[in-house]
Chain A
Amino acid sequence: MKSNPLAIKTLAFFLIWLLLSESFDWLHVSMGVLCAFGVAWFNRSREQTRFEIPRARIVWYYFWLVGRILQSGFHLSKLILHPSLPIDPRMIRQRTKLRKDAGIVLLGNSITLTPGTITVEVNSDELEVHAMDAESAEDVTSFRFDEQIARVTSSKETA
């Protein structure tokens, strides 16, 4: 039997609907079926993207990232509220040693998510980062993120 992606998607969306709506009368359930099918049909031509299941270490990485975000967030708040506004913005160009697309996406997103640094441009393995001051820039130039992500994505990568 050939698997039908439309049916599988509809079923998955419908299960999510049931979990979140908590109401099982015929009106809500039938609306759920309609919506699930509508969304699945709308996305029928979207190509299936293969994605690797990340290593369990990624959970630890997210906790580490929240810690970094808190630390840089307090630093940025201090800069903004300081009466003399002691900012010193700069652009940094940096090559990353990460090779996989997933790793580079995770790196760019993590840098942007951390207050005080924003990824401006990514050219295959070179990142252009805008940083608020020297201390924010140090987050990126120290390759802190690269090291952590290299441990998450693959054991073969070196950082």
Chain B
Amino acid sequence: MTLIEWVELYVMSPIAIASIVVGLFFLFVAAVGVLRLPDVYTRSHAVSLTDSLGAFFVLGGLALYEGLSTNAVKILIVLILLYLLNPVIAHATVRSAHRSGLKPWSREDA
């Protein structure tokens, strides 16, 4: 077993798997958030958590697991595109809710 193989098997893989598990935890939190939170505005916070942290850790973990290959580069391109598109989508959703006159939920309403 060469040194590179050893590093891939005993160092990179555990880091990658841990990263994917952390990402899955954030995806779970986001799902719980969508169910628990009261209105569009607060729920879209939870939804954007999926992309900003869930996808970050899951895709980052997958890229680490692949090692140095074009597949890793492709995964990173997907990640960069997600980071560019996620805020635009969240902003568009919330802005249309705001422009149609939806009042945000606040503590006093509860």
Contacts and interface: CB of A to CB of B under 8 A. Distances in A.
B95 A115 contact: no
B86 A113 contact: yes
Contacts of A95: none
Nearest to A21: B70
A158 to B, nearest CB: 25
Contact of B53 (A69, A85, A88): A69
Contacts of B44: 118
Interface in A65-96: 66, 69-70, 73, 76-77, 80-81, 85, 87-91
Given A80-B33, A80-B36, A118 B45 contact: yes
Interface string A28-50: 00000000000000000000000
Contacts of A90: 104, 106
A132 B45 contact: yes
Q: How large is the interface on B (under 10, 10 to 19, 20 to 34, 35 or more residues)?
A: 20 to 34
B107 A115 contact: no
A130 B87 contact: no
A130 B44 CA distance: 10
A103 interface: no
Contact of A73 (B49, B83, B90): B49
B94 A115 contact: no
Interface in A84-129: 85, 87-91, 108-110, 112-121, 128
A70 B56 CA distance: 10
Contact of A121 (B56, B70, B98, B107): B98
Given A76-B49, A77-B26, A80-B36, A108 B42 contact: no
